[in-house]
Structure 1
Amino acid sequence: MQSLYSKAVRGIYAVPKQTWFGIGITLFLWWIFMHYTRWPAVQAKSEILTVLATGAPNTFTEIVSRDGWPYWLSWIPTGINMTDNNAIGMAFAFLIGGAITSLVLPQGLIRRLLNSKGTKGSTYGGLLGAPLMMCSACSVPVALGWKERGANPETTLGVVMGAALLNIMGLTTIFVLFPGPAAWGRIVASILLVVVLTPLVVKLAVYYRNSWKLISSSDYLEKKADSANLQSCTVLDGGQDNLGWTEAGLLALKNWWNSSVEIAYRLFLPMTGAMFLAAIIRLMLPPGVVETYLGSGFFAIIVVSAFGTMIAIPTLFEIPLVLGFLFIGMGLGPATALIVTAPSVSIVSYFMLKKDVGHAAPLLLMVATFLMGIATGLTVEYLMTYYG
């Protein structure tokens, strides 16, 4: 017992001072994000259900009114409003991602925590992503922060998928509001996408060598250590740990701010552009089409799965979105396909991830999401038809 206690004490003292400051920054940001933005936003989402039931194309808070805009240009104010509604989440994603990226961790600890491969790696990433309560797009900066710490591809992508699909609040709400087959379909599909299909995607991407830029943690760290571009906060060196608490705190703040600005510089424009693209796609499905073409059947499920895979939506917005479509005539099979695909990776995630992980992995994840949506939708529709 004394030996274990001594090891624990030595482990605590071995953590660099900058790391303690980084952890404090991360927890502080997380508390502000949850207490002042996320929980109020979750509670407010129920208020838009009646608006969705009318088939309105936009249920976001509007800073630019769509009144007076021609229909074919209404994607402009819609995109502005979507960007405004996502601005807080994006900002916190950049700041939290910067805090994670700037953490000073011993090289051995990085390897032990993040050098998990296959199913273990994706599961570990999924569990890291689950409490984020961020959409798949907003979680990308956080996932890339782990990647900068040496995370394997499976862990990195698992964070993105876990944040989108394993959100406890979302899964609980789905079970409360949706029929049993749809709710169980969502949770089973989420687990399969995170635990099974994400590591499979990584294997396929590595096998075909399609611009895959992520390599194993050990190779990554060795390569970074030999590089002239090695950041001072990537791997611990003895000089940094000899800093006083004041110097370490100031350096931690500087590294955090620089990392956050760098992430925002790379990702803000792609995220904003993708919001406008999502606004265009949403306006392509007026309410009158839903009951006629998306009520049920294989074709409807394919169309809805493709639509859900492409669009980017805020955290938990898939719930009122799908309920709204149900109110205007969508069948439960297509609705289940949408509740699986809409929160998962999208065209937004692809553009944000492709620079760091290559084209293959995000594209394959989109394909996997699309196929999982079809499979889940068809299964639920079959169950409702023959056992409903």
Structure 2
Amino acid sequence: MNATRPTSSSAAPTWPIFVLLAIAGLFYVKWFPYYNRAFTAASTHSIGASILMGKAASPPAPSWNAALAYALAYGKAIWQAMVLGLLLGSAVQALLPAHWVARLLGKTGFGSVAAGGLLAVPGMMCTCCAAPVVAGLRARQASPGGAIAFWLGNSILNPATLVFMGFVLGWHWAGLRLVLGIAMVFGLGYLANRLVTPTEAQAADARLVELIGEQRDGNPFARWLSIFARMAVRLVPEYIVLVLLLGAARAWLFPQVGPEIGNDIVWIVALAVAGMLFVIPTAGEVPIVQAMLSLGMGVGPAGALLMTLPPISVPSLAMLARSFRPRVLTVVAVGVVAFGVLAGLLAVALGF
């Protein structure tokens, strides 16, 4: 009787390794540090200085030094989470059975959007660190809406950030963020799924059949290493360049802060757009807004920044340019700005 080559059904399952990596990695990088940070926020009503401009009234003028200083400060804050994001994004494609992601997140109804948003809550990653995981989910045929909800939910529904916000800025700000954040994550995710054409749905089904066939052969750990290397080479260099450019351009995106930046709709829209473009580490919006409010900025622009700084940025949009159609990313970017403007108007109307 001839020996047969083991298939994925007879080989030892690799999904427990993915689960262990996710739990251990998130505990080390996110859950435990944020647990301790919450006590600092409760006792001092602060979680640190603004990464955007420190204690100054405006960011430094555009220069190589400004670019490098911001990139180094930002990189120090997120490098561990970025490594974890790359590991998880590649592991999704190599260690999980090919049909699992499609079964949970692949449908184009609201169910996949709800699953993506709920799975994002324990992730607590910034938009750029979540991007490799989103790319991995899309490569395993997660629906656009499910992947968008996961991407936005990591930052905008981050429970640690909401706690920090409550202790530092006030629980009314945390409540506004939570209510509009839920609408943003699940609303934009559902809208993204509504943009899926029948042709795209058929192509996704056909690609899933191919993935299941491909996964039967080869060493999953060698495949994991190969995918990790490809993702790192493709995503990290463009990411670094864009962070440097944004670090240099801070003074153009965020003018000198003071009472002159009031609650006019022009300022609310302008800072909503600037927040959508800029990149910050997890919970970075809390000290940024705290510093700006202390300098006399209006609550309208502050509300806009609370909603648009965390969920997306130019680097994260670039990192996911191959994972979504341009129309989907455009709709998400415009939607994020719209929610920022709404948050600013509500902050003014409610007398924050």
TM range (shorter): 0.7 to 0.9
Unaligned runs of 5+ in 2: 1-8
Please name the residue that 2:313 is paired with: 346
Structure 1 residues 129 and 379 mapped into 2: Cα distance closer, same or farther (>3 Å)? same
Please name the residue that 2:271 is paired with: 304
Q: In the aligned structure 1, how far is the partner of 2:346 from the partner of 2:87?
A: 41
2:344 corresponds to 1:383: no
Query: Structure 1 or 2: larger helix share?
Result: 1
2:228 corresponds to 1:260: yes
Q: In the aligned structure 1, how far is the partner of 2:280 from the partner of 2:131?
A: 14
Give 1:23 deviation, angstroms: 2.9
Please name the residue that 2:82 is paired with: 90
CA offsets per residue over residues 318-354 of structure 1, 9 Å max, x none? 1111111111111112111110110011212211111
Give 1:304 deviation, angstroms: 1.2
Q: Is the 8 A contact 1:181 1:380 kept in 2?
A: no
Structure 1 residues 33 and 333 mapped into 2: Cα distance closer, same or farther (>3 Å)? same
Give 1:193 deviation, angstroms: 0.7
Q: How does 1:166-245 map to 2 (within 5 A)?
A: 166-204=157-195, 206=196, 215-216=200-201, 219-226=203-210, 232-233=214-215, 237=216
Give 1:377 deviation, angstroms: 0.6
Please name the residue that 2:249 is paired with: 281
Please name the residue that 1:23 is paired with: 19
Q: In the aligned structure 2, how far is the partner of 1:26 from the partner of 1:183?
A: 27
Give 1:50 deviation, angstroms: 8.3
Q: In the aligned structure 2, how far is the partner of 1:154 from the partner of 1:351?
A: 18
Structure 1 residues 43 and 277 mapped into 2: Cα distance closer, same or farther (>3 Å)? farther
Structure 1 residues 34 and 173 mapped into 2: Cα distance closer, same or farther (>3 Å)? closer
Q: How does 1:17-166 map to 2 (within 5 A)?
A: 17-34=13-30, 46=46, 48-49=48-49, 54-55=55-56, 72-81=63-72, 82-105=74-97, 107=99, 109-166=100-157
Q: In the aligned structure 1, how far is the partner of 2:131 from the partner of 2:340?
A: 22
CA offsets per residue over residues 113-144 of structure 1, 9 Å max, x none? 22232332222111111111111111011112
Give 1:36 deviation, angstroms: 7.2
Q: In the aligned structure 2, how far is the partner of 1:372 from the partner of 1:277?
A: 26
Q: Aligned residues, how many? A: 338
Give 1:149 deviation, angstroms: 2.4
CA offsets per residue over residues 154-193 of structure 1, 9 Å max, x none? 1111110110111011112222332454332211111111
Unaligned runs of 5+ in 1: 1-12, 59-65, 241-250
Give 1:308 deviation, angstroms: 0.7
Give 1:365's match in structure 2, choosing from 322, 329, 332. Answer: 332
Moved more, 161-170 or 114-123: 114-123
Moved more, 73-82 or 298-307: 73-82
Give 1:272 deviation, angstroms: 1.0
Partner amino acid, structure 1, of 2:21: I
Larger radius of gyration: 1
Q: In the aligned structure 2, how far is the partner of 1:179 from the partner of 1:365?
A: 28
RMSD of the alignment, in Å? 3.2
Give 1:195 deviation, angstroms: 1.1
Structure 1 residues 43 and 292 mapped into 2: Cα distance closer, same or farther (>3 Å)? same
Give identity over the alignment, percent.
23
CA offsets per residue over residues 64-87 of structure 1, 9 Å max, x none? xx9xxx864333322431334332
Partner amino acid, structure 2, of 1:49: A
Give 2:304's match in structure 1, choosing from 318, 337, 345. Answer: 337
Structure 1 residues 344 and 50 mapped into 2: Cα distance closer, same or farther (>3 Å)? closer
